[in-house]
């Protein structure tokens, strides 16, 4: 997975607290519904899920604003990713365990006589 660059430090926002409270409300009502089936607990759990969905969309956009380049044009990166060769952008050039990447070519095992036999048939 590609390491994303953050443009702002994540904070525990009011939406995060609201989302956490709604999740706790949903799970407690769901457990109560399983232990004691009633329409009251089913309605409360359903309403909590509806509210979770509303808050989750806004929270998702808030989280997207942390790393989306289109929403953070001109801002400085908070956590720059530094590659082993001291670059800060681009793709990583994987060389494997071989410290000398020029010697990773295998010898060609091509047999000329085999090619001639195929061409004759």
Average pLDDT over residues 85-110: 58
**pTM recorded for the entire structure:** 0.57
Average pLDDT over residues 18-42: 96
Average pLDDT over residues 86-111: 57
Q: What is the pLDDT of residue 91?
A: 62
In contact, 40 and 31? CB cutoff 8 Å: no
Average pLDDT over residues 73-98: 66
Domain residue limits, the chain: 14-92
Confidence of residue 121 (pLDDT cuts 50, 70, 90): low
> Does residue 68 or residue 23 have the better pLDDT?
23
pLDDT in tens, 50-85: 999 999 999 988 888 887 777 777 777 776 666 677
């Amino acid at each position: 997975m590609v390491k994303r660059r953050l443009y702002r430090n994540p904070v525990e926002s009011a939406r995060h607290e609201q989302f956490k409270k709604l999740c706790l409300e949903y799970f407690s009502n769901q457990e109560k519904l399983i232990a004691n089936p009633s329409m009251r607990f089913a309605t409360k759990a359903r309403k909590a899920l509806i509210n979770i969905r509303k808050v989750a969309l806004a929270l998702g956009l808030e989280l997207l604003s942390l790393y989306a380049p289109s929403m953070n044009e001109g801002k400085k990166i908070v956590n720059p990713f530094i590659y082993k060769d001291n670059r800060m952008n681009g793709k990583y050039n994987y060389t494997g365990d071989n410290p000398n990447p020029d010697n990773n070519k295998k010898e060609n095992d091509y047999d000329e006589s085999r090619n001639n036999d195929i061409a004759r048939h």
